[in-house]
Amino acid sequence: MSESVNNREPLLDISGLEVHFETRRGIARAVNEVDLTLYKGERFGLVGESGSGKTTMILALLRMIKTPGFIAGGKAVFDDGTDLLALNAEQVRQTRLKRVAMVPQGAMNSLNPVIRIGEQMMLTMREHGEEGERDELMARVVGLLEKVGLKPEAASLYPHELSGGMKQRACIAQAICLNPQLILADEPTSALDVVVQRQIMQTLRQLQIGLDATVLLVGHDMGLMAQFAERVGIMYGGKLVEVGTVSDIFRNPQHPYTQLLISSIPSFETRGDFKGIPGVALSLLDPPSGCLFHPRCPKATDACAQREPTLKEVSPGQWASCLLHEEEHDATAS
């Protein structure tokens, strides 16, 4: 998957990413051999039910996997050759926010309640070696706040004096304060009401375009994804099962799991959460043989329990990991 999408240059090349969790009953592969290339300036959406490994992937890219979890293998190489997963602790710290920034899930409680917004942002900037007079930094803070649609006065307020949406805006302002190349957003609007959700996503999009940054948006709201993302990846059981442009994924899904996901969306403007897929939820501690999805898959064949599928390009720019397509390939090849 190295050729460009819409003629964009690759930014981060993730290959063979493995995150394991050690439990009493064995090892769970929360992220399972994921290959994914993110391009400069694109908005990529990562979708999956809870436990599919999408949040774990974000934490892995931030190097914030905590025991009993650990990164068991793989690479995440930036365009300049830096491997995120090979950095030492201090290098990781400096990379955060400068190259990879996070917009948090729970904005309600993501700001330190005892420090004023402006002071928090200045503290964060100073921690990354941004020197300068107080006035200078403050001017930058005010500029950032205006960029996300907050008034300059917000700088002198405490978090509890802001509404939920304003807090999330402050978090976004903080995330872009060092012009990161990659912004990771983990369901950034899940705690907000629908109107505010839309506004926040619009702001995030404007900023992303302005900075020419890449956004990796994680979520389970397919409608939100369709509106925001350019490309979408579907995860199941720690594996990336399908990747493609938004229109390909929604109009012509190739993986049976994606097909079920799309068809289970409430039809009105494809907006809303998906309702779930019949069958027993997957246990990562005791995964089925072959394709992880085969016990729930309506199209499963005997081969699906034997062989593990790999991600194959089904049509230009659209990849799926399903034996169905491998067999078609085999059939047409012979």
Partner 1 sequence: MNWNYIVRRVALFLVVVWAAASVNFFVPRLGTGRDPIREKLGQLAASGGLRQDGIEAMVKAYQAKFGLDKPLYVQYLNFLGDTFTLDLGYSLANYPARVGQMIGNAIPWTIGLMVVSVLIGFALGTLIGALSAWPNAPPWVRSLAVPFMTLSAIPPYLLGLIVLYILGLKMQWFPLSGGYSPGMLAIASVDFYLDVLHHSILPALAIVLQAVGFWALGMRGMMVTTSGEDYVTLAEANGLRNRTIFFRYGLRNAMLPQFTALGLSLANVVAGQVIVEVIFAYPGIGTVLFQAIQSSDYTVINGVVLILIMSIGLVTMLMDFLYPLLDPRISHSRQN
Among 72, 108, 196, 300, binds partner 1 (CB under 8 A): 108
CA distance 236 to 242: 9
Q: Which among 92-100, 200-208, 217-225, 249-257 is the span making contact with partner 1, rule CB under 8 A?
A: 92-100
Q: Which among 87-95, 231-239, 244-252, 319-327 is the span making contact with partner 1, rule CB under 8 A?
A: 87-95
Angstrom CA distances, 121 to 115, 231, 321, 323, stand at: 10, 32, 43, 50
Structure tokens at 207: 């900023």
Burial of 72 (0-12, 13-18, 19+ CB in 10 A): middle
Among 128, 134, 275, 299, binds partner 1 (CB under 8 A): 128
**What are the beta bridge partners of residue 16?**
none
Say if residues 209 and 215 touch (Cβ distance below 8 Å). no
Among 37, 174, 197, 258, binds partner 1 (CB under 8 A): 174
Nearer residue to partner 1 within complex by CB, 101 or 314: 101
115 in contact with partner 1 (CB under 8 A): yes
114 in contact with partner 1 (CB under 8 A): yes
Length of the chain (residues)? 334
Among 31, 36, 62, 226, binds partner 1 (CB under 8 A): 62
Among 112, 156, 263, 301, binds partner 1 (CB under 8 A): 112
Structure tokens at 75: 């690479």
Structure tokens at 313: 């390009």
Strand order in the sheet with 69-78: 26-39, 10-23, 69-78
CB of 187 to partner 1, least distance (A): 13
Nearer residue to partner 1 within complex by CB, 1 or 87: 87
139: Cβ contacts below 8 Å, ≥ 6 apart: none
Q: Which among 32-40, 109-117, 201-209, 238-246 is the span making contact with partner 1, rule CB under 8 A?
A: 109-117
CA distance 209 to 247: 20
DSSP 181: S
315: Cβ contacts below 8 Å, ≥ 6 apart: 248, 252, 254
CB of 54 to partner 1, least distance (A): 16
283 in contact with partner 1 (CB under 8 A): no
CB of 170 to partner 1, least distance (A): 11
Helix (H, G, I), strand (E, B) or coil at 232: strand
CB burial readout 129-143, b (16+ within 10 A) else e: eeeeeeeebbebbbe
Nearer residue to partner 1 within complex by CB, 94 or 227: 94
CB of 330 to partner 1, least distance (A): 44
Is-cis flag, bond preceding 68, omega within 30?
yes
Burial of 6 (0-12, 13-18, 19+ CB in 10 A): exposed
Among 98, 140, 198, 312, binds partner 1 (CB under 8 A): 98
**What are the beta bridge partners of residue 23?**
26
- Residue count, binding to partner 1 (CB under 8 A): 32
CB of 77 to partner 1, least distance (A): 20
Nearer residue to partner 1 within complex by CB, 29 or 96: 96
106 in contact with partner 1 (CB under 8 A): yes
227 in contact with partner 1 (CB under 8 A): no
Say if residues 43 and 232 touch (Cβ distance below 8 Å). no
Among 109, 247, 306, 310, binds partner 1 (CB under 8 A): 109
Binding site for partner 1 (CB under 8 A): 62, 64, 66, 92-98, 101-102, 104-106, 108-115, 123-124, 127-128, 158, 160, 171, 174-175
